[in-house]
Structure 1
Amino acid sequence: MSIRKWVSLFLKTLLLGCVVGLVIGIIVQWHSQLHGLRDGHISGFFINLFVIFVLGGLFSVISQMGFFFYLTLHRIALGIFRSHSRWGIVQWFLIVVTFVDFIYLRYKAFGHGESVIGYLIPPVVLFIIALVIAEVKKRETNKIAYIPALFFMFVVTTLEWLPVLRQKENSMFWVMGLTLVVCNAYQMLKLHRLLKETQ
């Protein structure tokens, strides 16, 4: 892929992250934002929007770092295991471990007698999204792309999300998580199209 296309992907993902972060931030903080406007804190309202916009861009950069990290890891792992099937088994194992840890560690830290159902929702939703993106990737490329796409969308997104996963759910939990998911999905589905254009 040429430098020009890489820069284009970087800038588009950055802008996407800013916009998604802003939209999700407004949605999850709607009540407090509206309350601030009613109290006449207009400058504070716009400063808060700007901060969320910038944070969305930051999350998109984290997403891009994770994406290129995985592309490198994928090539190294294929060289070590010398087989897509063996590397695929390892990835499935890591997906299962990540899924269990996502639920168990957060419940252990924050559950305190609460129902585990609430702690199931984020990993289950993320896994369903990962399955959908992996299926689209497979249909647009080939069947061996399924497991890598699923692994990236679930495991790498979870690792990128760790800074807020260590905290109790709040508005930033959703802003960061959904921004990462959208940016990761965009990059995963855009890469093979860019590579086709280069050929």
Structure 2
Amino acid sequence: MNSRKVVYLFFSTLLIGATSGALVGFILDWRTYWEGLMAGEVVDFFLVIVWLFGIGAMWTLISQMGFFAYLTVHRFALGFFKTARTWNMIQVVIIAFVLQGLGYFRYVSFGTVDESILGYILIPLFLLIYGLCIAYYKSKQTNFGAFIPALFFIVVVTTLEWLPALRVNDPKWLWVYFTPLLVANTWQLLVLHRLINRK
């Protein structure tokens, strides 16, 4: 992969991730922003959009760091373990642990007496289903050996990148932070093999 492709990957990911974050942030509170615009607060409206775009860009940069960190760890693990199967089994165990923790620990931290844990299971369930779909698509585009690493990246790495935001239990901001991470991670995962021209 040459420098031109690295630059393309960086800026395309940054643009896609930041835009997705800004869109979700606007949609989740569109009535407030729209009423401000109709009241003549045009400058404030555009400043809010730029601010949301900046937040999305920040989380996209975190996504990019996580992506290259995982590529490094993945290569190291493949060299350390004697077979790729061993590393894949370890990744499956970590995926299960992270999904369980994502639901359970959020419930323990933020759940109230009258709340069910079911509401806290929805995000891990969504992440698992989404990860399975992306991993299947990635493996169809490349080879079946990419399935477990792709699932691990979408589920585990995205969750690790999202950890600082999980301390806040505000649904709006959780999604504003989560969306650019997930979109950027998906884009990087699905475009990488095209950039290096390898099936």
Could you say which residue in structure 2 is the equivalent of 1:122? 123
**AA matched with 1:88:** N
TM-score (norm 1): 0.95
Within 5 Å, which residues of 2 pair with 1:35-184? 35-113=35-113, 114-184=115-185
CA distance in 1, matches of 2:26, 2:125: 24
RMSD of aligned C-alpha atoms? 1.5
Could you say which residue in structure 2 is the equivalent of 1:188? 189
Could you say which residue in structure 2 is the equivalent of 1:19? 19
CA distance in 2, matches of 1:141, 1:38: 49
TM-superposed CA distance for 1:68, in Å, is 0.3
**AA matched with 2:192:** L
CA distance in 1, matches of 2:135, 2:106: 26
TM-score (norm 2): 0.95
Query: Which runs of 5 or more structure 2 residues have no equivalent in the other structure?
Result: none
**AA matched with 1:176:** Y
* Post-superposition CA distance 1:161-194 (Å, at most 9, x none): 1111111033221011111111101100100011
Query: Which runs of 5 or more structure 1 residues have no equivalent in the other structure?
Result: none
- Change beyond 3 A, Cα 1:184–1:108: same
**AA matched with 2:189:** M
* Post-superposition CA distance 1:98-132 (Å, at most 9, x none): 00110111000100121112111111111111001
Could you say which residue in structure 2 is the equivalent of 1:34? 34
TM-superposed CA distance for 1:39, in Å, is 4.4
Equivalenced residues, count: 198
